[in-house]
Amino acid sequence: MLGRREFLEYTLKSAMLLGIGNKLVPWSGSWFTLPSEDQVTLRFAVVSDGHYGQAQTQFDEMHNLVIGALNREKSGRGIDFTFVNGDLFHDEPSFLLPVKKKWDELAMPYYVSHGNHDKISEQAWMEAFGKGWHYDFTRKNCSFVVLNTASQYGDYICPDQQKAKALLNAHKKSKHLFVFMHITPFKWTGGGMDCPDLTTHFKRHNNIKAVFHGHDHDIDEVKTRDGIHYVFDAHVGGSWGLPYIGYRIVEVMKDGTILTYQMNAGLDKQMNSDIFAAVMHS
């Protein structure tokens, strides 16, 4: 883990590289050849933990870096939407509207979840983004459920069980079901919390293809439990974590395969990749 000084120096170097117009080479060092675009039915991005407004961080530059990378993805291979998975701002409610204005610079639709540093009421959140803390949406043949893992004061909480079950049950016949929640429901990371009622309910839905998390800035990998993939995407901002600003791409293939890979926004470089087979878990 980098210290604050080293992290900021890395971030500024990446931002300067983009700012002076250097042409970055995409897919440098990739571990695979991307499938042809006509095999992809849905392509979306996941980011988290921008911590907009955190003192002694270059939060504007960090956001500009990843938003620029995502907009290039949109104009290139294409992105149907981006999901911002919690901790959009850092504690102070006055940053809610400025961070929304910043994410509005995306060239594609975006959705958000509430994080523990987004210390604001659900009503204010809804007024800004048009959605509460638990909701769902669909895109093509895919369903998405968004769950809340924090109070307005920053306390870690398991998602509301009634709302979670109702939302998941509403999509039990969907071919592909994805879940977004800021904090992971297992204590397998430094910031995780156990939510056994929720994870037991997850096991009843064999169409869940992945559960996406933010919160743990130092994790950009996939963990698996009971046949369900729990996916992390590092961070956009903040003062700690992996030494790069990252985002995750998810490609849903026409044959049902799910391809996901983590990108370094500053270097336009793939960091890892995973493939989820076109089968339902038991």
Contact 225, 186 (CB under 8 A): yes
Q: Residue 130 falls within a domain, yes or no?
A: yes
Q: Residue 256 falls within a domain, yes or no?
A: yes
CATH of the domain at 185: 3.60.21.10
Q: Residue 32 falls within a domain, yes or no?
A: no
Q: Nearest CA to 161 among 144, 181, 178?
A: 181
Q: Nearest CA to 35 among 278, 253, 282, 277?
A: 253
Q: Residue 14 falls within a domain, yes or no?
A: yes
Rounded CA-CA distance 258/75 in Å is: 22
Q: Residue 168 falls within a domain, yes or no?
A: yes
Contact 119, 152 (CB under 8 A): yes
As for how many domains the chain has, the answer is 1
Q: Which domain holds residue 230?
A: 4-19+38-276
Q: Residue 30 falls within a domain, yes or no?
A: no
CA 21, chain centre distance (Å): 27
* 253 beta partners: 40
| Helix extents (H) in 171-219 | 196-202
Q: Residue 28 falls within a domain, yes or no?
A: no
Rounded mean pLDDT for each run of 10 residues along the chain, 282 residues in total: 46 38 35 85 98 98 98 97 98 98 98 98 98 97 97 98 98 97 95 97 97 98 96 98 98 96 96 84 50
Q: What is the pLDDT of residue 33?
A: 80
Q: What is the pLDDT of residue 241?
A: 98
CA 262, chain centre distance (Å): 10
Q: Residue 281 falls within a domain, yes or no?
A: no
